[in-house]
């Protein structure tokens, strides 16, 4: 039984790598990879599409559903591996695993957003041209977020775009630290559950 579970876990891990490769191909639109791409899409898109239907995973032009899809596969593979090694798995372990994957995925996104807002704010401060494609692409994501977050932090203040970015950067640093502490506390509490 354990060998079967280990095999299934390995297949899930392999499928995860295939999906990562599929996602990377979407970073280069307009390229034609022939029949190989068609086979890849037919193998991965049905699974990814299940998550793409959730509108809350899309923020502006950015779709976070692939990250959730990959986290789901990672959790499943880890649970199967634990069962194969230990012969059983507790509810606390499963919950801790879910909290761990989702928590650290969220932290990664917060850190990524913090870095992007920090870089963009610095670019504006040093007078970088806002017409460059890189900045235009970043602004499509960052402007709506910076406006919403800065308006919540300082609702009565008239802020420039750079000031809004600086507020989001500061909030991101604080959020990442607090999120790390919270996730670690929850993991320890869930692991210690008797069931």
Q: CA 169, CA 113: separation in Å to the nearest integer?
A: 8
pTM: 0.71
Q: CA 59, CA 68: separation in Å to the nearest integer?
A: 14
Query: In the listed set 52, 71, 87, which residue is the last one of a domain according to the structure?
Result: 87
Q: CA 145, CA 120: separation in Å to the nearest integer?
A: 13
Q: Note whether 95 and 187 are same-domain residues.
A: yes
Q: How many CB atoms lie within 10 A of CB 128?
A: 14
Q: Note whether 80 and 111 are same-domain residues.
A: no
For residue 95, CA distances in Å to 24, 78, 79, 108, 175 come to 30, 12, 10, 20, 22
CB 25 within 8 A of CB 31: yes
Q: CA 100, CA 130: separation in Å to the nearest integer?
A: 38
Q: Note whether 68 and 96 are same-domain residues.
A: no
Q: Note whether 73 and 101 are same-domain residues.
A: no
Query: In the listed set 38, 69, 87, which residue is the last one of a domain according to the structure?
Result: 87
- How many domains is the chain built from? 2
Q: Note whether 94 and 188 are same-domain residues.
A: yes
User: How does DSSP classify residue 58?
Assistant: E
Domain that holds residue 158: 90-195
Going residue by residue through the chain, which has 195 residues, state the pLDDT in tens, using 9 for 90 and above: 678 888 999 999 999 999 998 888 877 666 677 788 888 889 999 999 999 888 777 766 677 888 889 989 988 898 888 888 877 778 888 888 889 888 888 898 899 889 999 999 998 888 877 777 778 878 888 888 888 888 888 887 788 888 889 999 999 999 999 999 999 999 999 988 877
């Amino acid at each position: 039984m354990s060998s079967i579970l280990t095999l299934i876990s390995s297949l899930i891990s392999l499928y995860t790598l295939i999906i990562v490769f599929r996602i990377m191909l979407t970073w280069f639109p307009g390229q034609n990879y022939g029949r190989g791409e068609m086979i890849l899409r037919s193998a991965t898109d049905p699974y990814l599409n299940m998550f793409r239907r959730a509108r809350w995973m899309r923020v502006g032009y950015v779709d976070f559903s692939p990250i959730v899809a990959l986290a789901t596969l990672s959790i499943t593979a880890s649970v199967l591996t634990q069962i194969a090694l230990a012969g059983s798995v507790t509810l606390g372990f499963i919950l801790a695993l879910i909290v761990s994957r989702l928590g650290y995925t969220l932290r990664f996104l917060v850190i990524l957003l913090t870095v992007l807002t920090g870089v963009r704010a610095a670019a504006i401060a040093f007078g970088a041209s806002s017409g460059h494609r890189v900045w235009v692409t970043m602004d499509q994501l960052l402007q709506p977020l910076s406006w919403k977050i800065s308006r919540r932090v300082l609702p009565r203040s008239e802020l420039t775009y750079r000031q809004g970015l600086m507020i989001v950067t500061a909030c991101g640093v604080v959020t990442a630290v607090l999120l790390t502490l919270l996730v670690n506390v929850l993991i320890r509490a869930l692991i210690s559950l008797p069931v």
